[in-house]
Amino acid sequence: MASNRIGRINEEIQKELASQLRTVKDPRVAETMISVTHVETTPDLRYAKVYVSFLQEEKAADAMKGLKSAGGYLRRELGRALNLRYTPELVWALDDSITYGAKMLKLINSLEVEKDDRVDDC
């Protein structure tokens, strides 16, 4: 039962952070397309590991620094939006699954498919 509650809290934190990222005025964050892909919260709700993905890979390092810098602001806004006893401390982590998926799709699309005449006869 507790894990279901943590899962719902993770989803709420993910949705709220995704909407709050648009309000950050730091140019490293504001000028970069950022997606919050996943959130993992500890059972005591003290820490939340936030996985983010970036559309522009070359801006990822600067954007991560910007997110760490804006962490206090985002935590405060998260505390205002969610009614929790403790507002978790945000720990930012880079999620490269979207980049990896795009790379795999590009590789799959680059393969040549041989047409077999026997398949057409069936």
Distance CA 88, CA 107 (A): 39
Owning domain of residue 54:
2-121
pTM: 0.78
What was the pLDDT predicted at 93?
A: 95
* Of 24, 22, 18, 3, nearest in space to 50 by CA: 18
Cβ contact 94:52 at 8 Å: yes
CATH number of the domain within which 9 lies: 3.30.300.20
Number of separate domains in the chain: 1
Distance CA 56, CA 7 (A): 29
Cβ contact 2:43 at 8 Å: yes
> For the chain, what is the mean pLDDT?
87
- For residue 47, pLDDT over 80 is answered with yes
Cβ contact 82:12 at 8 Å: yes
